[in-house]
Amino acid sequence: MSDLALEIRDLRVAYGGIVAVKGISLDVGRGEIVTLIGANGAGKTSTLKSIVGLVPPISGTIRLFGRDLRGVPTHRIVADGVALVPEGRAVFSSMSVRENLELGSFLKREKAGREARLERCVRLFPRLGERLAQEAGTLSGGEQQMLAIARALMGDPKLILLDEPSLGLAPKLVAQIFESILEIAKSGITILLVEQNTRLALETAERAYVLVTGEVALQGSAAELREDPRIRAAYLGEDPAA
């Protein structure tokens, strides 16, 4: 069996004539937290969408636990253990928190496992536990992000793809959500984290890839990249001359 949860080679993604991802390669080891960072429009979301088959690559390969995903439909990829938590959260606002969570496990037939996972989500996000009967649309942005992550966990994934979980949230909630991401990783789930908040991403992940206009410009351990002057100047808002 492959030691890699995810192995991407020379991936290219295009929308009509616009090439959004220009031949990137990246690896995510089993149980690792890897972050994909880069400015708006760099191709981060397109990469995540192509992993779950929502946008077909024009070339390149994507392997999930050693298995080539070419031609595999999204529902199969999800059933095989990949959960995408999309940008902007997308919870079902007129449904209750509990119903949103239950939807996350609709592929799983056994009731016992479902209840155990619901309990795990509530332990991880006590705020959701207090609001199970509440309509999801009435939650704060941070709580909706928690719900989106918890819903992904309800499907018992092996790999979670998180698309900008910090976007638009108050710092206190962001800190809580990133604590939870670390907890999730401790439970053995592999995480590919897309973030524009470079500082936070490099504090959370073990390794990082920096995307610039659809290409991997830099890669390495998060600790190395935190000290890299190019990263400090371009992404951490530090003056290189200082």
Ligand X SMILES: Nc1ncnc2c1ncn2[C@@H]1O[C@H](COP(=O)(O)OP(=O)(O)O)[C@@H](O)[C@H]1O
Selected range binding Mg ion among 13-21, 45-53, 64-72, 199-207, rule: CB under 5 A: 45-53
Measured between alpha carbons, how far is 82 from 48 in angstroms, rounded to an integer?
Answer: 11
241 contact choice in Mg ion, ligand X, none (CB below 5 to 8 Å, kind-dependent): none
Q: How far is the CB of 45 from ligand X (least distance, A)?
A: 3
Q: How far is the CB of 166 from Mg ion (least distance, A)?
A: 12
94 contact choice in Mg ion, ligand X, none (CB below 5 to 8 Å, kind-dependent): none
x-or-dash string of contact with ligand X, 10-49, rule CB under 6 A: -----x--x-x-----------------x-xxxxxxx---
- If the CB atoms of residues 117 and 165 are measured against Mg ion, the closer one turns out to be 165
- If the CB atoms of residues 124 and 193 are measured against ligand X, the closer one turns out to be 193
20 contact choice in Mg ion, ligand X, none (CB below 5 to 8 Å, kind-dependent): ligand X
- If the CB atoms of residues 34 and 124 are measured against Mg ion, the closer one turns out to be 34
- If the CB atoms of residues 18 and 112 are measured against ligand X, the closer one turns out to be 18
Closest CA to 131 of 173, 100, 88: 100
Measured between alpha carbons, how far is 108 from 43 in angstroms, rounded to an integer?
Answer: 32
Using rule CB under 5 A, residue 45 touches Mg ion: yes
Angle at CA of residue 113, ends 79 and 190, nearest 5°: 50
DSSP string, the chain: --SEEEEEEEEEEEETTEEEEEEEEEEEETT-EEEEE--TTSSHHHHHHHHTTSS--SEEEEEETTEE-TT--HHHHHHTTEEEE-TT----TTSBHHHHHHHTTTT---HHHHHHHHHHHHHH-HHHHTTTTSBGGGS-HHHHHHHHHHHHHHT--SEEEEE-TTTT--HHHHHHHHHHHHHHHHTT-EEEEEES-HHHHHHH-SEEEEEETTEEEEEEEHHHHHH-HHHHHHTS---TT-
x-or-dash string of contact with ligand X, 184-203, rule CB under 6 A: --------------------
- If the CB atoms of residues 84 and 139 are measured against Mg ion, the closer one turns out to be 84
Q: How far is the CB of 125 from ligand X (least distance, A)?
A: 25
- If the CB atoms of residues 12 and 117 are measured against ligand X, the closer one turns out to be 12
Selected range binding Mg ion among 22-30, 39-47, 71-79, 122-130, rule: CB under 5 A: 39-47
Q: Where along the sequence are the contacts to Mg ion (CB under 5 A)?
A: 44-45
Q: Where along the sequence are the contacts to ligand X (CB under 6 A)?
A: 15, 18, 20, 38, 40-46
